[in-house]
Every structure is written in C-alpha cells, then in structure tokens.
Amino acid sequence: MENKFIIAVYVDNQAGVLTRVTAMFTRRGFNIDALTVGETERREYSRITISMRGDDNAKEQLINQLKKLLVVKKVEVLEDEPIKRELMLIKVENRSENRSDIMTAVDVFRASVIDYSPESMCVEVTGQPTKIDAFVKLMQPFGILEMCRTGIVALERGVNTLFNE
C-alpha cells in the first residue's frame, strides 16, 4: 500500500551534500514530491525535509540507503502528524470584476498581497499544504499567471533534539 511520508535528514552543511543525497534517490528510482533544505539551529548542519510516496518497504530502503551516506548525520521519519507548513507565492490576474473576490479570499485565508499592479496581484499564502491547495483551486477561475511553492517544512511535536550528545 502506497502512503505519503515525510523524512527529515540532517546532513553536514557544506557544498555538494544535496547533490550526493539527491543522486542516491535517482540511483534507487525514488521520486520526491517535495524537498526543502535549510540550515539548522547549529550552523554546521542542514536539514533536508523530503515528502514522498511509497510503501513501507520503499520507506525502509530509503532510510537505510540515506544512513549509509557519510554526510548524513541523522534520519528520522516524522510520524504522528507533525507540524507542517508550506509557503506559496501566486500571481493572479487583477481585473476589476475579480478584485473584491480575490481580496475576500486573501482575508479568509489570512494571506497577504505582496505586490499589486493594474494587471496582476501577487499573494503570499502560508499554512498546511491542504490550505495552499484550497487557495490555488479558489484562484483558478480568476486566472493564475504564475505560482511557486516551497514544499513542506515539518517538525515533530513536543521535545526533540537534533542529536543526543
């Protein structure tokens, strides 16, 4: 049975690490739904958050392969509904007949208009991936000109430390 899962991979914060990690995915034929990377609270480490689909066997194989990479310091599967957020920038057509509906949606979704011109509006939306999906669906009739999404960033609930040193 194919499931969606999120994996946090803590790696050395140095050039070429992301290439090594993603090359492993390519060699093994894994497809990534979303990938985000950023420095952690400790500058010497970065965290790669990977969202993907697969069965339990594929998940275990992926975890085992990641742990074999020398640049990988820790791998954890985020279970039990972690705290998940995503950021999206979306540019929609700014027409007089749509403007008030778009602004109402911006308010309801607690989004922000970050750029405004006579031809278009750029809106920033953050939240659960389902919230982002719902906003995109709502904006489609108004004319989406361009959009980009960050992918999921996620943390386990409660106390969790990078390393137990």
The residue among 77, 95, 123 that closes a domain is 77
- Distance separating alpha carbons of residues 98 and 92, to the nearest angstrom: 10
- Residue 140: give its domain's CATH number: 3.30.70.1150
Angle between helices 129-139 and 99-108 (to 10 degrees): 170
Residue 158, in any domain of the structure: no
Alpha helix positions (H), the chain: 17-28, 56-68, 99-108, 129-139
Instruction: List, for residues 29-71, the tens digit of each pLDDT value.
Output: 888 888 999 998 889 999 999 988 888 888 888 899 899 999 9
User: Would you say residue 96 has pLDDT above 50?
Assistant: yes
- Residue 73: give its domain's CATH number: 3.30.70.260
Domain count, the chain: 2
73 plus 97 within the same structural domain: no
9 plus 36 within the same structural domain: yes
Write out the residue range of the structural domain in which residue 41 sits: 3-77
Q: How many residues does the chain have?
A: 165
Instruction: List, for residues 125-157, the tens digit of each pLDDT value.
Output: 999 989 999 999 999 999 999 999 988 888 888
First and final CA of the chain: distance in angstroms?
37
The residue among 55, 77, 99 that closes a domain is 77
- Distance separating alpha carbons of residues 151 and 43, to the nearest angstrom: 22
Residue 160, in any domain of the structure: no
